[in-house]
Chain A
């Protein structure tokens, strides 16, 4: 812990190496009849400073790998800019792009698939050098041997094939290949998540040593919070293509500001039995990135959601039931009806969605909800049964929308050291997330 704090202090004033400005990466959605695009990365901005390790954490599908791939130009950004040393690299092409690629390399997640099985280790490590016409063949061979020992392998491994190595060794080879061109910036895409825990530690130590030796800047993508906490100087937390919170590692882990970060961190088992913070379990599943919420991306699952004023007196249980019911209706509205069902709908014989009754009974049975709520739920239920979940979804939105449902928050500073969080609750007119979470968890 002390190590992390020390680092943040000494590295506070470094210059920016990579600057990401309003980056968007959408898949599909082109053409008139296409489905709406998948918004893998949706308007993200941050900076990576020279020499630091910037962590990117989030659950699977949050867009963190896509973001990393877009930074090294493996994917073309849909919109926005990536400034590398002040130069916009999203517009590069041809020879310029190839030259720039020397500066930014990537280590891939799966060591089984990232090495070509039909090439020897020597050929694999030398390939980036050959692709850039680096010196003579003899020099390249020397360099490959040098890199082998840098990453902790033996020289006799030069003539072996990837099949003959363990996962950890293969990852070392992947690292050697990424370092061959002496890049300044390396994207590490979950470099240890496919490895045994004992091997993970060794690879992480190796990465730290290499960073110190070659002045590397890392973007470290992971879903393992303890790894992030160990290696990163600063961390960004992603959810559904958006950065929810960003800050110095120590600060973010000690005093998370965003409700999502808080629930994420509460999932880390704590060895201290006297700790009073409770585990926050997020309800439901993340919404589809094809159809993200209009307001805050996290609004469908947020434990600290701001509710509309007219329903101020509702209990948390009722709110929970309402949100779950909205999720069910949302899923229904995303389904497409087949021809037979559409015919039935016209003939008034539609019965496919009758199971919504059970959902309502499950969610609201035994709850003491006020009449206004039960009326709204009833009419939504009728509409779903009638085969019109879109209308039900609209009606529920109109009835129960708070600011979190309606408007996107902004990433705003929450501390002097540059911690930023993406939440409406940081505005002065609302209670801060911590108090709400504390109160709501105490109620349980």
Chain B
């Protein structure tokens, strides 16, 4: 390792035209070690990773084609129909692929570590769960393993960057190093990153983390696949029942004799870590299912908003004058429209159209959120953008005739990206809350039932908070608070990391303030 660093110092230019690949070929060991571990990690969960990846691809595909369809639809409806056709065929291909990936064995799946089962005879060893453990322990084992796997995988990805930085990067030092090094000592920011990773894990690996599946427990509880076996104490034998029927007898509706609280079993030997909903469905599974849609919608909304805000901030800072004024007027116009009314209107207008059905209504919400949140981000980022547009290096680039678009991308964007990340992470919290609030209001707003959404759980349990079924509202609410806190912590961490004065421990508290919806 030492010798490799030496060669780099002595002959930095011999390799200046080399690609990363040729540098890896020169000194393959660090990369090989990293790839070996990464390979093992990926193989362990190949099916789930591919499935998650396809999920993301599908969401992106829908987002991009959906936007293109709406834009093109303004000009020509036949072209729009063509795009729609492409979208539908591509989406169905992706769904097919995703179904195939479910066939790939993964280590941390409910097939390998099952947790559903029954006790033949009512006591003793369990039939079904992993190693005959109690369902609670089997489920907890799987959950812990999945979470640990996600954290290790994230760390290993970061580790890959470290390996690149130490062995294969031509620069010995870059400004990013300082940011990363500061984040490595920033506990609050790290807390935010861990929370984010945990919630992303819920989005990606959600199906493996719940004690049962969304399909069996929530979406189609009365199909043949949704039968469960349980020990019937009255008849003293093992019987089968539809999950839906079991749910019917496992409702939490606020009375002592009809409540399945957190960390308890219901009459059918099913373990409910977070208890059940008013309709008897498993709250934990519901939450995991909700994580996916919430994160996808938030991601699309904040991505769109950030893109618009960053682009327009640079344009208005670079050209200033009437263009700046134009953007300002547009932003003020958008801010003046009450978002809730707009959401209600858009939901009503597009109800039962194909656009309103993408992601169970979530896509439309994401677009509306993205288009209405950018003025706030734009205002926050315009200041830093104006500042960097005044730097002499921007003048220098103009003086040799660099194109404005490249000036903005190379000379301005790196300086406002940090601010964008901060404000985006903080506004994301606001979007999650608003999204939950919409689901809470119900009546055609928010994500259409029965697809799980966090806000709906809060809404279902709101009348029962003071009784034994307090968990229905409280736990999803607390999860939302945790995620939003994590996002804010992440934003704080980034803010401190990009601020060169932050390591003095004083000042630097002025760049950003928290923000909700």
Q: Is A110 an interface residue (CB 8 A)?
A: yes
Least Cβ–Cβ distance between B7 and chain A, in angstroms: 13
Contact of B392 among A98, A108, A118, A138 (CB under 8 A): A108
Task: State whether A98 and B401 are in contact (beta carbons under 8 Å apart), knowing that A108-B392, A114-B393, A156-B13 are contacts in the complex.
Answer: yes
Interface residues of A in 180-224 (CB under 8 A from B): 180-181
Contact count band on A: 35 or more
- Which residues does chain A contribute within 8 Å of B175, judged by CB atoms? 117-118, 161, 163
- Which residues does chain B contribute within 8 Å of A158, judged by CB atoms? 12-13, 16
- Which residues does chain B contribute within 8 Å of A305, judged by CB atoms? none
Contact of A161 among B9, B174, B393 (CB under 8 A): B174
Question: Which residue from chain B places its CB closest to the CB of A101 in the assembled complex?
Answer: B401
State which of B47-55, B303-311, B407-415, B456-464 sits at the interface with chain A.
B407-415
Q: Is A435 an interface residue (CB 8 A)?
A: no
Question: Which residue from chain A places its CB closest to the CB of B411 in the assembled complex?
Answer: A116
Task: State whether A161 and B400 are in contact (beta carbons under 8 Å apart), knowing that A108-B392, A113-B392, A114-B393 are contacts in the complex.
Answer: no
- Which residues does chain A contribute within 8 Å of B397, judged by CB atoms? 127, 131
Tell whether, in the assembled complex, residue B171 and residue A160 are in contact, meaning their CB atoms are under 8 Å apart: yes
Tell whether, in the assembled complex, residue B16 and residue A141 are in contact, meaning their CB atoms are under 8 Å apart: yes
* Mask of A78-100 contacts with B, CB within 8 angstroms, 1/0: 00000000000000000001110
Tell whether, in the assembled complex, residue B392 and residue A131 are in contact, meaning their CB atoms are under 8 Å apart: no
Question: Which residue from chain A places its CB closest to the CB of B396 in the assembled complex?
Answer: A114
Least Cβ–Cβ distance between A327 and chain B, in angstroms: 33
- Which residues does chain B contribute within 8 Å of A120, judged by CB atoms? 171, 174
- Which residues does chain B contribute within 8 Å of A119, judged by CB atoms? 410
Least Cβ–Cβ distance between A76 and chain B, in angstroms: 12
Tell whether, in the assembled complex, residue B400 and residue A160 are in contact, meaning their CB atoms are under 8 Å apart: no
Task: State whether A159 and B400 are in contact (beta carbons under 8 Å apart), knowing that A116-B410, A118-B414 are contacts in the complex.
Answer: no
User: How far apart are the CA atoms of A155 and B173 in the complex, in Å?
Assistant: 16
Tell whether, in the assembled complex, residue B12 and residue A156 are in contact, meaning their CB atoms are under 8 Å apart: yes
User: How far apart are the CA atoms of A105 and B396 in the complex, in Å?
Assistant: 9
Tell whether, in the assembled complex, residue B415 and residue A118 are in contact, meaning their CB atoms are under 8 Å apart: yes
Q: Is B226 an interface residue (CB 8 A)?
A: no
Contact of A132 among B16, B17, B396, B401 (CB under 8 A): B401
- Which residues does chain B contribute within 8 Å of A156, judged by CB atoms? 9, 12-13
- Which residues does chain A contribute within 8 Å of B16, judged by CB atoms? 141, 158-159
User: How far apart are the CA atoms of A97 and B404 in the complex, in Å?
Assistant: 14
Q: Is B398 an interface residue (CB 8 A)?
A: yes
Least Cβ–Cβ distance between B270 and chain A, in angstroms: 55
Tell whether, in the assembled complex, residue A101 and residue B400 are in contact, meaning their CB atoms are under 8 Å apart: yes
Least Cβ–Cβ distance between A247 and chain B, in angstroms: 29
Tell whether, in the assembled complex, residue B393 and residue A115 are in contact, meaning their CB atoms are under 8 Å apart: yes
Tell whether, in the assembled complex, residue A113 and residue B13 are in contact, meaning their CB atoms are under 8 Å apart: no
* Mask of B221-258 contacts with A, CB within 8 angstroms, 1/0: 00000000000000000000000000000000000000
Q: Is B336 an interface residue (CB 8 A)?
A: no
Tell whether, in the assembled complex, residue B13 and residue A155 are in contact, meaning their CB atoms are under 8 Å apart: yes
Tell whether, in the assembled complex, residue B13 and residue A145 are in contact, meaning their CB atoms are under 8 Å apart: yes
Q: Is B503 an interface residue (CB 8 A)?
A: no
Q: Is B215 an interface residue (CB 8 A)?
A: no
Task: State whether A155 and B12 are in contact (beta carbons under 8 Å apart), knowing that A106-B399, A118-B175 are contacts in the complex.
Answer: yes
Tell whether, in the assembled complex, residue A159 and residue B401 are in contact, meaning their CB atoms are under 8 Å apart: no
User: How far apart are the CA atoms of A155 and B12 in the complex, in Å?
Assistant: 8
- Which residues does chain B contribute within 8 Å of A105, judged by CB atoms? 399-400
Q: Is B185 an interface residue (CB 8 A)?
A: no
Q: Is B100 an interface residue (CB 8 A)?
A: no
Tell whether, in the assembled complex, residue A108 and residue B12 are in contact, meaning their CB atoms are under 8 Å apart: no
Q: Is A74 an interface residue (CB 8 A)?
A: yes
* Mask of B137-173 contacts with A, CB within 8 angstroms, 1/0: 0000000000000000000000000000000001111
User: How far apart are the CA atoms of A118 and B175 in the complex, in Å?
Assistant: 7
User: How far apart are the CA atoms of A374 and B17 in the complex, in Å?
Assistant: 82
- Which residues does chain B contribute within 8 Å of A128, judged by CB atoms? 400, 402
Tell whether, in the assembled complex, residue A131 and residue B406 are in contact, meaning their CB atoms are under 8 Å apart: yes
Q: Is A177 an interface residue (CB 8 A)?
A: yes
- Which residues does chain B contribute within 8 Å of A131, judged by CB atoms? 397, 400-403, 406
User: How far apart are the CA atoms of A101 and B397 in the complex, in Å?
Assistant: 11
- Which residues does chain A contribute within 8 Å of B171, judged by CB atoms? 120, 159-161
Q: Is A72 an interface residue (CB 8 A)?
A: yes
Q: Is B509 an interface residue (CB 8 A)?
A: no
Tell whether, in the assembled complex, residue A127 and residue B402 are in contact, meaning their CB atoms are under 8 Å apart: yes
Interface residues of A in 125-164 (CB under 8 A from B): 127-128, 131-132, 138, 141, 145, 155-156, 158-161, 163-164
Interface residues of A in 295-328 (CB under 8 A from B): none
User: How far apart are the CA atoms of A72 and B397 in the complex, in Å?
Assistant: 12
User: How far apart are the CA atoms of A110 and B392 in the complex, in Å?
Assistant: 8
Q: Is B501 an interface residue (CB 8 A)?
A: no
Q: Is B111 an interface residue (CB 8 A)?
A: no
Least Cβ–Cβ distance between A301 and chain B, in angstroms: 32
Question: Which residue from chain A places its CB closest to the CB of B10 in the assembled complex?
Answer: A156
Most buried by A among B396, B406, B410, B414: B396
- Which residues does chain B contribute within 8 Å of A177, judged by CB atoms? 396, 400
Question: Which residue from chain B places its CB closest to the CB of A117 in the assembled complex?
Answer: B175
Question: Which residue from chain A places its CB closest to the CB of B393 in the assembled complex?
Answer: A116
Least Cβ–Cβ distance between B10 and chain A, in angstroms: 9
User: How far apart are the CA atoms of A177 and B398 in the complex, in Å?
Assistant: 13
Tell whether, in the assembled complex, residue A101 and residue B393 are in contact, meaning their CB atoms are under 8 Å apart: no
Contact of A108 among B173, B396, B406 (CB under 8 A): B396
User: How far apart are the CA atoms of A343 and B397 in the complex, in Å?
Assistant: 52
Interface residues of B in 407-447 (CB under 8 A from A): 410-411, 414-415
Question: Which residue from chain A places its CB closest to the CB of B415 in the assembled complex?
Answer: A118
Task: State whether A97 and B401 are in contact (beta carbons under 8 Å apart), knowing that A116-B410, A118-B415, A145-B13 are contacts in the complex.
Answer: yes
Q: Is B395 an interface residue (CB 8 A)?
A: yes
Q: Is B332 an interface residue (CB 8 A)?
A: no
Task: State whether A159 and B12 are in contact (beta carbons under 8 Å apart), knowing that A101-B399, A118-B415 are contacts in the complex.
Answer: yes
Name 28 interchain pairs, CB-CB below 8 A, sorted by A.
A97-B401, A99-B401, A101-B399, A102-B401, A105-B399, A108-B395, A108-B396, A114-B392, A114-B395, A114-B396, A115-B393, A116-B391, A119-B410, A127-B410, A128-B400, A131-B401, A131-B402, A131-B403, A131-B406, A132-B400, A141-B17, A156-B9, A158-B13, A158-B16, A160-B173, A161-B171, A177-B396, A177-B400
Give residues in A with beta carbon < 8 Å to B.
69, 72, 74, 97-99, 101-102, 105-106, 108-110, 113-120, 127-128, 131-132, 138, 141, 145, 155-156, 158-161, 163-164, 174, 177, 180-181
| Additional 15 contacts, C-beta under 8 A, given A131-B403, A132-B400, A132-B401 | A108-B395, A113-B392, A114-B393, A117-B175, A120-B174, A127-B400, A127-B402, A128-B400, A131-B400, A138-B17, A141-B17, A155-B13, A159-B172, A160-B172, A161-B174
